[in-house]
Amino acid sequence: MGGDILRKLFSLIILIAVLYFSWPTLQKIAEDPSPQSAIDHITSKIQTLEDNPDVQDTFAKLSTGLTELSGKVDEAIAALPFTSEEQKPKKVKKPNLDVPENQTFSVYNVEIGDDRTNVEKTLGQPQRSTLNEYGVEWVAYHQNYEHFMMVAYNQENQVVGLYTNQDLISSTKGIKRGSTKETVENTLGEPLTEIRKGFVYYKLEKDRDYDMYKLDHSFVTIFYDKHENNTVTSIQIMNENLEENKQDFYTKGSEALQKGFEYQLFDLTNAARVNHGLPILTWDDQVKETALAHSEDMAEHNYFDHQNLQGQSPFDRMKEDNIRFTVAGENLAYGQFSSIFAHEGLMNSLGHRKNILQPDFRRLGVGVAFNEEAQPYYTENFFTK
């Protein structure tokens, strides 16, 4: 775009130069009514300009200078938040959300038990499939992170899990994204305070930003955003058999689960940015390795800090890995048993939330590692070149 503008400017300068040197001829046009005479005069002057070494040298220098300037302008424009209409988050028309037919909640008109074939008639083909803590795949559907949701299927291709952090929640109780926590608790009653895993009952923390309910043979977790007046921000629904078959609070780490948590956290971050009208981030393999190394270091040496045991900051570690940046940031999470709970916790922490919703960031890498107790460490490294 910048090059086109400067080429037009260059043409204008040439036109002005021709007019300047042809001014005496233009004066003669008024005196001599013969059109051919005027044309002959102008043609002669243009030929004189073309043959003049000084003029040729001046235009050559001007052309070189404008070409260099054009490249710099193009680079500067490319660094702006949006270089074209295509890079802006495009608002996709909000779907019509129906009242659920069989359960209390649905997501984008999908309910637990629905068939995958019917789901994908509405949602289209998935964008990504990654392992989650329940031993099944989170299948992500979205249109450039608009209408973002994740669906889990069993071996019979029936829906056994749902999640969204966008305005796709429908309920027979009138609960939706933006409903207050007070409304939810007045409508659904007292939430669970503990959850059983095998022969162990795990107490849910008192000061938490979510409520968990057992409804319609499913465990429903409703997340709140305390920075948006404790209103509903997202929902997770898991079939009770899937939840109860998960024997431990933490799932044993594996390479597949590590990658699942990493890509899920990346997708959740972009879906949250789209909610706030921000450009989506690009996955960066190089900074992902920086993030992973820090997660592995914390998991191995049992600490949790932005500064490692060698005294290096996130920015020191990025520079050491030859990552060039103009702005950068780091988010850490520890102990949350899934990428979803990690993301929701980060969104409710003001400093971490600012990184997730930082307009200037363009790239993100996520690294996850597990300690000996299967507790995951999450590191997000954001930056812009």
The secondary structure of 217-252 as a DSSP string is: TEEEEEEEEGGGTSEEEEEEEEEHHHHHH--SSSPP
Query: Which of 114, 115, 181, 168 lies closest to 141, judged by CA?
Result: 168
Q: At the fourth CATH level, which superfamily is domain 257-384?
A: CAP (3.40.33.10)
* Same CATH fold assignment for domains 105-249 and 257-384: yes
Assigned token pair, 224: 């709140």
Query: Which residues on adjacent β-strands are paired with residue 151?
Result: 139, 162
What DSSP string runs through 195-206?
A: EEETTEEEEPPS
Q: 244: which 2 tokens?
A: 């109860």
What integer pLDDT is reported at residue 69 of this predicted model? 47
pTM for the structure as a whole = 0.76
Neighbours of 312 (CB within 10 A): 16
Spatial CA neighbour of 175 closest among 142, 140, 224, 208:
224
- Distance separating alpha carbons of residues 76 and 326, to the nearest angstrom: 13
Closest to 379 (Cα-Cα) out of 276, 324, 322, 307: 307
| Rounded-to-integer distance, Cα 135 and Cα 22, Å | 81
Angle (nearest 5°) at CA 182 between 177 and 187: 80
Strand 363-370 and strand 282-283: the pairing is parallel
105-249 CATH pick, 3.40.33.10, 3.90.1170.50, 3.40.50.150, 3.60.15.10: 3.40.33.10
| 127 burial via Cβ count (<10 Å: 0-12, 13-18, 19+) | middle
Q: So what's the pLDDT on residue 35?
A: 47
Residue 82 confidence (pLDDT): 44
CB-side exposure of 240: number of CA atoms within 13 Å? 8
Q: Decide: residue 50, CB within 10 A, 0-12 exposed, 13-18 middle, 19+ buried.
A: exposed
Rounded CA separation 109/99 (Å): 8
CA angle centred on 101, ends 99 and 107, rounded to 5°: 60
- Domain segments of the chain as ranges: 1-31, 34-82, 105-249, 257-384
Question: Is the Cβ–Cβ distance between 329 and 361 less than 8 Å?
Answer: yes
Coil, strand or helix: which one is 143? Answer: strand
Q: Which two tokens stand for residue 205?
A: 């923390």
Residue 297, C-beta contacts closer than 8 angstroms, at least 6 positions apart: 308, 309
Helix (H, G, I), strand (E, B) or coil at 211: strand
Q: How many CA atoms lie within 13 A of 255 on its CB side?
A: 0
- Reading the chain (385 residues) residue by residue, the pLDDT tens digits are 444 544 555 455 555 554 555 555 545 544 544 445 544 554 455 455 445 555 555 545 554 454 454 444 344 433 444 433 434 555 566 778 999 999 999 999 999 999 999 999 999 999 999 999 999 999 999 999 999 999 999 999 999 999 999 999 999 999 999 999 999 999 999 999 988 777 777 888 888 999 999 999 999 999 999 999 999 999 999 999 999 888 888 999 999 999 999 999 999 999 999 999 999 999 999 999 999 999 999 999 999 999 999 999 999 999 999 999 999 999 999 989 999 999 999 999 999 999 999 999 999 999 999 999 999 999 999 999 9
Query: How far is Cα 343 from Cα 89, in angstroms, rounded to an integer?
Result: 21
- How far is 256 from 252, CA to CA, in rounded Å? 11
Residue 255 tokens read as 């390479």
Cβ neighbourhood burial of 195 (10 Å; 0-12, 13-18, 19+): middle
For the record, the structure tokens of 281 come out as 């981030």
State the alpha helices, DSSP H only, in the chain.
2-21, 23-31, 35-51, 53-78, 116-123, 181-188, 240-245, 255-275, 285-301, 314-320, 339-347, 350-356
